[in-house]
Amino acid sequence: MIPAGFIQDLLARTDIGEVVGRHVELKRSGANLMGLCPFHAEKSASFSVSPARQFYHCFGCGASGDAIRFLMEHLGLSFVEAVRELAGRAGLAVPEDRVDEAERTRRQTLRERRLSLRDVLDRAQAFYRAQLRESPRAVAYLKGRGLTGAIAARFGIGYAPPGWRTLAGVFPRYDDPLLAEAGLVRQADDGDAGTAAEPADGRDGRGRYDWFRDRVMFPIRSVSGEVIGFGGRVLDDAKPKYLNSPETPLFSKGRELYGLFEARQAIREAGHALVVEGYMDVVALAQHGLGQAVATLGTACTGDHVGKLFRFTDTVVFAFDGDAAGRRAASRALEASLPHLNDLRTVRFLFLPSEHDPDSFVRAHGRDAFLGAVERAVALSAQIVAQARGDADLATAEGRARFLAQARPLWSALPEGLLKRQLLDVLAGEAGWTGDRLAAAWQTVPAASRERTTRPDSPRRDAPGAARPRPSARAAPAVPADLALAMLLRRSDWWDALPADDHALLHALGGEHAEVVAWLERQITEHGPLSWGALAEALANVPWGASWRRRLEADPAADGYRLDDLHVVLQRLHLDQLKRQAAGLATGATADDETLERLRELHARMAALRAGGGAAGRAQAVEGSHARDFSEPV
């Protein structure tokens, strides 16, 4: 939790002109600064920054906000990340409530180590770039791939010489642990092939060697432009063709995308992000005027990748080779994307001819042909059908059953909405069913479950629009804490709308509730607000996650939650907390003036809460309407 007072102080100390000016070329125009808007394509400056008001506004697209908002929108940072970025530049420490001294020290140590790692990587990057100019062989390789010096400079491409310890001439201490932690050097061990012939030159770093040797170097940048790792490609047919930095405190290949820093503006202008599989694909497409491409880093596309891209655009196009490996990669990308989709987001799949990758295709056929292929990319619904069909023969009953069985987990991963409802009809049509019939089949609850949630004589209909079952006589009343967390899991974007005292209340719930709150806050801090589908996927990795996911997915009222409902339940929790405090004071052995004054204060606060729009009564109504959905103990 970051106190509101700190945010106000931070913004007062921040020069928005300096913040924006690091990313947009600004020119003085009277009292304001003007430049080309970074949020839409324009040729005449309509983007105004007011240092006096600490505010920016675009008269073309309407984008506006303060320095925090600018970093969130332009760099795709979460609120907390943007605050920390500004605080670091202002020399301020971000207050962190409810953190003990040991944890605060650990975090400060981690921040300092990351700063040191960034310095090491920056020095290595400068060295590799200088070495490219000294290597005619590497320059010839890049020219042979159709790259110009301008595009190489834009992406910071360099070259790692073939020596075992060339970095020993760059850093004063080759045995500095930071070099290994940054992924630049490696310690030889008995299992390292080829290191026995390594020269014993008497340096302190004996037994170490450079991680990258004789490779064209592609710096991997964070979304804010800092070098966090490298990718190296051989100049011949040696293996491995590509080599990435190992996992470090700064670099995780499952979360980072190559070229995203360079592609941000092009993504906004093109209206979509293009995901490819290699560094050269990204650079070659940029060379041909297609700067909206990014690449995964030697790993399958993950949910973190997709979530990061959707901070910049509502449309993502995956481009793969048309061979079997490309189809497998598309399958993984589809599964990673599904939880992040909604009715305003689009994912499409481009399959190139088997003899081409994006690099070779754009060089052979040109920019317009590639854009035409992007326009013809397969829609999400068609890709789901194709993936579910697999080897199923739709001409037989067995094949249709297989098709539907393979389609169901894909369909279930989609968040609730119109897209999911329409896809149900598409899948049903492929199997020769009606949408209502398939909905009834997929929403059937086993008899044992029905007995736990309905009375023996209660009517039940499985079709859409069915009457809601009456609560079981054995169902426990809904717990307000359950309802509050259910709403926040369904709508994690509401977390930032809550004041500090609500956050403190939720963290103080104790038990599993407190675990859920802490976990949810970490997810939002690291990834920004997530859809329920994305959170449901993440819940699979925590011990109590299955229970919460089951409850939310079985809750027919979940899609109808409103922010007002959350406020009401939180008011009830505050009221219950005050009652417990008052009861504890009333049963104490002493009744001095201080105790009586404290009791009067607590009762006054309870009266104020009750008077606030009938919060307690409305909270009971909300709880009653959801009692069936949260009958499981927490």
Shared domain for 293 and 366, answered yes or no, is yes
* Residues ≥6 apart with Cβ < 8 Å to 460: 450, 454, 466, 467, 469
Number of domains, the chain? 5
Q: What is the pLDDT of residues 277-307, one digit of tens each?
A: 889 999 999 999 999 999 998 788 988 899 8
- Region 396-414: mean pLDDT is 92
Shared domain for 341 and 401, answered yes or no, is no
- Domain termination residue (choose one: 217, 244, 271): 244
Give the C-alpha separation, 395 to 307, whole Å: 38
Residue 55 pLDDT exceeds 90: no
Residue 602 pLDDT exceeds 80: no
Shared domain for 157 and 45, answered yes or no, is no
Query: What pLDDT does residue 431 have?
Result: 93
Residue 594 pLDDT exceeds 70: no
Shared domain for 360 and 398, answered yes or no, is no
Shared domain for 239 and 340, answered yes or no, is no
User: Could you please report the per-residue DSSP string of 569-624?
Assistant: HHHHHHHHHHHHHHHHHHTSS---HHHHHHHHHHHHHHHHHHHTTSHHHHHHHHHH
Q: What is the pLDDT of residues 258-280, one digit of tens each?
A: 999 999 889 988 989 999 988 99
38: in domain: yes
183-192, 270-279, 464-473, 496-505 — which one is most confidently predicted on average?
270-279
**CATH label of the domain that carries residue 597:** 1.10.860
Residue 631 pLDDT exceeds 50: no
Shared domain for 181 and 76, answered yes or no, is no
Residue 603 pLDDT exceeds 80: no
- Domain termination residue (choose one: 336, 358, 376): 376
Other Cβ atoms within 10 Å of 526 Cβ, number: 13
328: in domain: yes
Query: What pLDDT does residue 99 have?
Result: 57
Mean pLDDT for the chain? Answer: 80
Give the C-alpha separation, 464 to 343, whole Å: 20
For the ranges 249-258, 310-319, 459-468, which has the lowest average pLDDT?
459-468
Shared domain for 509 and 626, answered yes or no, is yes
454: in domain: no
249: in domain: no
**CATH label of the domain that carries residue 213:** 3.90.980.10
451: in domain: no
**CATH label of the domain that carries residue 316:** 3.40.1360.10
Shared domain for 526 and 607, answered yes or no, is yes
Dihedral of the alpha carbons of 519, 342, 322, 404, in degrees to the nearest 10 = 90
Report residue 551: phi and psi, to 5°. -65, -45
Shared domain for 237 and 267, answered yes or no, is no
Residue 313 pLDDT exceeds 50: yes
User: For residue 498, what are the domain limits?
Assistant: 480-630
Shared domain for 496 and 616, answered yes or no, is yes
Q: What is the pLDDT of residues 544-574, one digit of tens each?
A: 888 888 877 776 666 667 787 888 888 888 8
Q: Identify the residue with better confidence: 51 or 634.
A: 51
Q: Identify the residue with better confidence: 177 or 632.
A: 177
**CATH label of the domain that carries residue 429:** 1.20.50
With residue 303 as reference, give the H or E element that holds it. Answer: helix 303-309
Shared domain for 227 and 301, answered yes or no, is no
Shared domain for 602 and 539, answered yes or no, is yes
With residue 234 as reference, give the H or E element that holds it. Answer: strand 227-234
Residue 345 pLDDT exceeds 60: yes
**CATH label of the domain that carries residue 78:** 3.90.580.10
CA angle 337–343–349, rounded 5-degree value: 40
Give the C-alpha separation, 401 to 392, whole Å: 8
46: in domain: yes
Share of the chain above pLDDT 90, in %: 32
100: in domain: no
315: in domain: yes
Query: What pLDDT does residue 548 have?
Result: 84
- Region 119-139: mean pLDDT is 94
pTM for the whole structure: 0.61
In this prediction, residue 455 has a pLDDT band, given cuts at 50, 70 and 90, of very low
